[in-house]
Amino acid sequence: MMPAPGTVALETGVASLLEPGEKAVAVVNGYFGQRLAEVAELVGADVVRVLAEDGGVVSPNKLEEVLKAHRDAKAVLAVQNETSTGVLNPVQEYSKISDERGCLFLLDAISSYGGVELDFDGWGLDYCVGYANKCLGSIPGTVPVAVSEKAWEAFSKRKTKPRSFFTNLGIWRYYMDQWKGIGHPYPTTISPHAVLCFRAAARAALDEGLDERYRRHARVGAAFRKAIRAMGLETFPAEETASPTVTAVALPSAVWKDSGKINQIMLRKHRIMIGAGISSLSGKIIRVGHMCVTASSRYIIPTLTALRDTFKELGISLNDGTNVFAEEISGSA
């Protein structure tokens, strides 16, 4: 458990498991995959990007072809839930291929942890970062991190020492081993409030049952996307690869120049915060999260109503999507 933003935990894994000049293959199909590749480049790694178009998915076969062409790659970097495009990546297959090619597999599960199936040991992951406040529903401030024995072994065989303290897995391992007896197995102070909130959120997830929790997120996500399409809008990625925890909605070209007003009206008038498009999709999509308690009718139905009203203010008439959502939820319960 690290007291840090998720990005710092990701950088810790990348900086600890990759040395300058070593090669990494990064799966990039959105902003966060690209950022993970940039982190690796900043620590001096030679990064090969495996690209997909916005809203697309890098196929496992394509990743395998790239790894065959780059047999000296040490690690594969990927994001499970690419929230910039609303896509869920097939990371179980990525991990299997990476292991078969002798590569470490590092995973960003920040926006999927607690809402989408994730099996660190069963899938053969080597370094994985979750987060407290998204699908798990706690507060920011604590980051669950898992490290495999394979990754620890790779770290122990580094030719050079990491040039950092906080983002150095060796430092964290030292304090876990040497300071656990005094109740402080960390190299820095961790907020007890954040830890207690994390524990409460984890208990709530376990009480619900992880399988049921994953089904709820998938059920609500599918119903929301169907409701969005019934309103007359389009969802951005293909249905079979759509994220269960965030939906990307393609905006009609007529509102691209006023896309920022959608978020403003939703927040100021309806007190509902949604995400805008980022990077190459800026102004072309909006992103609606349905995570933890918000993956429920209590939150989604008001959001659909508010979206319809917001588009009306911008001169676009939409159908009512609330009945479609309610029917889908009742039919799949």
pLDDT at 333 exceeding the cut of 80: no
55 with 248: CB under 8 angstroms?
Answer: yes
Residues 75-126 have pLDDT tens digits of 999 999 999 999 999 999 999 999 999 999 999 999 999 999 999 999 999 9
pLDDT at 183 exceeding the cut of 90: no
The pLDDT value recorded for residue 331 is 73
Question: Where are the CATH 3.40.640.10 domain residues in the chain?
Answer: 6-198
Bridge partners of residue 106, in order along the sequence: 77, 127
Q: How far is CA 19 from CA 39, 40, 73, in A?
A: 12, 9, 12
The pLDDT value recorded for residue 102 is 97
Phi-psi region of 230 (alpha: psi -120 to 50; beta: other; left: phi over 0): alpha
Confidence band of 317 (pLDDT split at 50, 70, 90): very high
CA dihedral 37, 41, 45, 47 (to 10 degrees): 40
Residues 38-72 have pLDDT tens digits of 999 999 999 999 999 989 999 999 999 999 999 99
Architecture of domain 210-332: Alpha-Beta Complex (3.90)
Bridge partners of residue 28, in order along the sequence: 51
The pLDDT value recorded for residue 332 is 65
Distance CA(108)–CA(105), nearest Å, equals 10
Pick the CATH number of 6-198 from 3.40.640.10, 3.40.50.10300, 3.40.50.1820, 3.40.50.880: 3.40.640.10
Of the candidates 86, 81, 83, the residue with the CA atom closest to the CA atom of residue 107: 81
Question: Where are the CATH 3.90.1150.10 domain residues in the chain?
Answer: 210-332
pLDDT at 268 exceeding the cut of 70: yes
Cα-flanking dihedrals φ and ψ of residue 2, to 5°? -115, 140
Segment 205-209 shows an average pLDDT of: 98
61 with 11: CB under 8 angstroms?
Answer: no
Q: 164 Cβ partners below 8 Å, 6+ apart? A: 15
Looking at every residue in the chain, the average pLDDT score rounds to 96
